[in-house]
Homo-oligomer: A and B are copies of this chain.
Amino acid sequence: MNAYTTARISLPSQPAHPNRQVGFGPAPVQPLSFFAAGSEIYAQGEKAGAFYQVEFGAVRIYRLLADGRRQISAFHLAGETFGFEAGTTHHFFAEAINTTGVRVFRFAAGMDLSGQLLPLALKGLTRAQEHLLVLGRQNAIERVAAFLVDMAERQGGLRQVELPMSRMDIGDYLGLTIETVSRVFTKLKEKGVIRLVSLRCVEIVRQDVLRDMSE
């Protein structure tokens, strides 16, 4: 409650994103909620009762160990849906990475959305299990390569890939330290596989090589 209200910032209009999927079911489009960079969308232990669609911006889903170690299990970009990794309570945290607009679909009592949620849940499950392979069996270069290939695909396969998240986020997603992530970026740059347009923007110069590296 508090988190939601403090997190919301006022922005004028609703930008229509190209990746945006059109309506869930026959229901009217939900109002757009805004979250400032770093603000919480939901917390571990909180009661679940909705799912979420990113309109613009980006979201990280993560979990913490007692000593503060963090594992990001997923990033969600514009057009993607999240928040159903929960029975009755959330097992994870969800935070806006940047200023982010989200449509919140609350479950009404007696509402059966299982037919619509199942494919999303299965997709998420497959994604998570594929990520297990990366974390369990791939080295630092392969992890970063896989990450870049994935991000590129999700952004339409363009040469220029936007990375909305920090190196710290990338590290916590790939099970690496920021230093290692940084070193791998440098190495890929030196090999001519990528070019760092800016800190948060990568140009994939040799997509074929990157793909080979990612497995």
Residue numbers of A with Cβ under 8 A of B are 61, 63, 65-66, 69-71, 73-74, 84-87, 91-92, 112, 114-115, 117-119, 121-126, 128-133, 135-138, 172-175, 215
Contact partners of A73 in chain B: CB under 8 A: 129, 132-133
Q: Is the CB of A71 within 8 A of B132?
A: yes
Please give me the residue from chain B that is nearest to A70 by CB atom: B137
Q: Which residues of B are found within 8 Å of A87, using beta-carbon distances? A: 119, 122-123, 126
Nearest chain B residue, comparing its CB with the CB of A128: B128
> How far does the alpha carbon of A118 sit from the alpha carbon of B125 in the complex, in Å?
11
Q: List 28 A-B contacts (CB under 8 A).
A: A63-B129, A65-B133, A66-B215, A71-B132, A73-B132, A74-B129, A84-B122, A85-B126, A85-B129, A87-B126, A91-B126, A91-B129, A91-B130, A114-B114, A114-B115, A114-B117, A114-B118, A117-B118, A121-B121, A121-B122, A125-B125, A128-B132, A132-B132, A135-B135, A135-B136, A135-B175, A136-B173, A137-B175
The residue among A65, A124, A125 with the most chain B CB atoms within 10 A of its own CB is A125
- Of all chain B residues, the one with the shortest Cβ separation from A116 is B114
- Rounded to whole Å, the gap between the CB of A178 and the closest CB of chain B is 14
Complex-state Cα separation, A70 to B92, whole angstroms: 27
Give the residue of B66, B91, B115, B122 whose beta carbon is less than 8 angstroms from that of A86: B122
Residues of B contacting A122 in the complex (Cβ-Cβ under 8 angstroms): 84-87, 121
Q: How far is the CA of A122 from the CA of B91 in the complex (A)?
A: 11
Interchain nearest-CB distance for A156 vs B (Å): 21
A131 with B130: CB separation less than 8 A: no
- Across the A-B interface, give the 7 residue pairs with the lowest CB-CB distance, nearest first: A136-B175, A128-B128, A135-B135, A71-B133, A121-B121, A114-B114, A114-B118
Closest chain B CB from A26 CB (angstroms): 17
**A70: which B residues are within 8 A, CB to CB?**
137
Contacts of A133 in B (CB 8 A): 63, 65, 71, 73
**Residues of B contacting A125 in the complex (Cβ-Cβ under 8 angstroms):** 84-85, 121, 124-125, 128
Bound together, the chains give a CA A126 to CA B118 distance in angstroms of 14
